[in-house]
Amino acid sequence: MATTAVPPPADTSGAPRLRRRIGLLQATAMNMAQMCGVGPFITIPAMVIAFGGPQAILGWVFGALLALADGLVWAELGAAMPGSGGTYVYLREAFQYRTGRLMPFLFVWTAMLFIPLIMSTGIVGFVSYLGYLWPGMTKPEAYVVGIAAILLIVAILWRRIDSIGVLATVLCGIMVATVLTVIVAAYTHFHAHQVFTFPHGAFDITRGGFWVGFAGGLTVGVYDYLGYNTSAYLGAEIRRPGRTIPRSIVLAVISIMVIYLAMQIGVLGVVDWHTMLDTSSPEYSSVASVLLETTWGEGAAKVVTVFILLTAFTSVLAGLLAGSRVPYDAARDGVFFRSFARLHKKHEFPTMGLLAMGAVTILGFVLGELTSITRVIQLLTAVMVLVQALAQILALTVLRQRQPTLSRPYRMWLYPLPSILAAVGWVTVYLYADKNAPGLHPIELSLLWVVGGVIAFGLWARSRGEWPFGPKPIEEKYLQAQASGISADDEVLEVSLDLPASRAGAAR
């Protein structure tokens, strides 16, 4: 029986809600700001250590391929379902048919850990480079500086999204200028033989050590590209998301890949890679500053180091901005604590999400200072692979089968090949995690965290009488909104998703 479309609901409540204020330029800038933060400045030595030589360039090449393949997954899902929280929305829609709300619950449970861990590595890098300008900085002073930086970022984010978008664009410009300065400085004193003189057996793929190093380098490489999905997390606040989200992802990945390769090759052409193997050396802790001092002198090195600090600050700001939206949609659905569904009355942003992410970022920063940044990277990546990367790839396929009539402004190129390549890459990263972080056991810890999440979900579901202790509600929210004549690009989409199914319109 045919259904009669109803007009899009008017927003007459006056209550605060997320609004579409971010365009393509700002969305791409936010993605790039999150991707190209302090990451490459602190991980070039880590990449060299993983590969054992200048063949570390492979890490950024294959990291980019993994990021692009996975980015196409985000592009299709984000364009079709531009909601606040990104992966939470996709898992909610895809896995409700068999496991109720288990998968979206596990994602939020896990995101509250891995997103702040990613941000904490930016603060670790910030403090590391500050040590170049402040060589006498003590360990307690480093803790104070790092925590103060996080608190300042939270204070900056305590405002409307449109003003933050402008700020992110400006800071992204500073970030790009900083990276380009390092690249130009490198090529004014470039020695090609340092880049292309490889140690014996560098490309011997028959050695087990090669694949351990490759997996370690791939992990570091894809970590440096993380952030290409920032615009998808902010889907409810993106203008024309069906076009803007896919374009912002692809543009950001390709742009950052070119920048990373140019910088990696340039650094290796100036700084002897052997010196980076010593983790107590300046070449390891602040390689870009050493490069500038070698090429243009100490004064230039100090100036650029200041801009590197701004770059690190910008990346953490963009990450916490997006991360704070993750628990918001879950809380609105009743799958997370209700306090996370509250928006600031004046500035219209999720207050509890921002505060919680800031608090866990502080804890992650302390962990990074107590151990090492590479171990934190291995841990956060292992946790992220299970409940986000692989689950989301599967969600794309499930949704194509379960919701074939859903409007998809962007459909993955060469489907399903990018999905398969992304899955292979993520599985490789995960299976080698323990070998690349001896003593930390990221595989075991990630599995333990997921088991804890399943137990927490069981307690939550029992208290609410939901699956597996009660009925399994099926709410195809985006299909319902589509049946009501509401496009994913409409300003009123978020309002429609709050309505009961009877008002939003029948899905079929």
Domains of the chain: 24-445 (1.20.1740.10)
Which one-letter DSSP state was computed for residue 7? P
CA 331 to chain centre: 21
Cα–Cα distance for residue pair 227/35, rounded to 1 Å: 5
φ, ψ of residue 238 to 5 degrees: the values are: -100, 130
| Cα angle: 237, vertex 239, 243; to 5 degrees | 120
* pLDDT, tens digit (0-9, with 9 covering 90-100), for 227-281: 898 888 888 788 888 889 999 999 999 998 888 889 889 999 999 999 998 888 8
Instruction: Mark 445-460 as b/e (b = at least 16 C-beta within 10 Å).
Output: bbeebbeebeeebeeb
Question: Residue 468: is the preceding peptide bond cis (ω within 30°)?
Answer: yes
Q: What is the pTM of this model?
A: 0.80
Cα–Cα distance for residue pair 341/354, rounded to 1 Å: 12
With a cut of 70, list the residues of the chain below it in pLDDT.
1-19, 37, 85, 159-169, 171-172, 329, 344, 346-348, 487-508
- What pLDDT score does 497 carry? 64
- The strand pairing partners of 234, in sequence order, are 84
CB of 244 within 8 A of CB of 231? yes
- CA-based nearest residue to 332, from 66, 84, 11, 48: 84
Give the other-Cβ count within 10 Å of 444's Cβ.
12
- What pLDDT score does 331 carry? 79
Instruction: Mark 30-54 as b/e (b = at least 16 C-beta within 10 Å).
Output: bbbbbbbbbbbbbbbbbbbbbbbbb
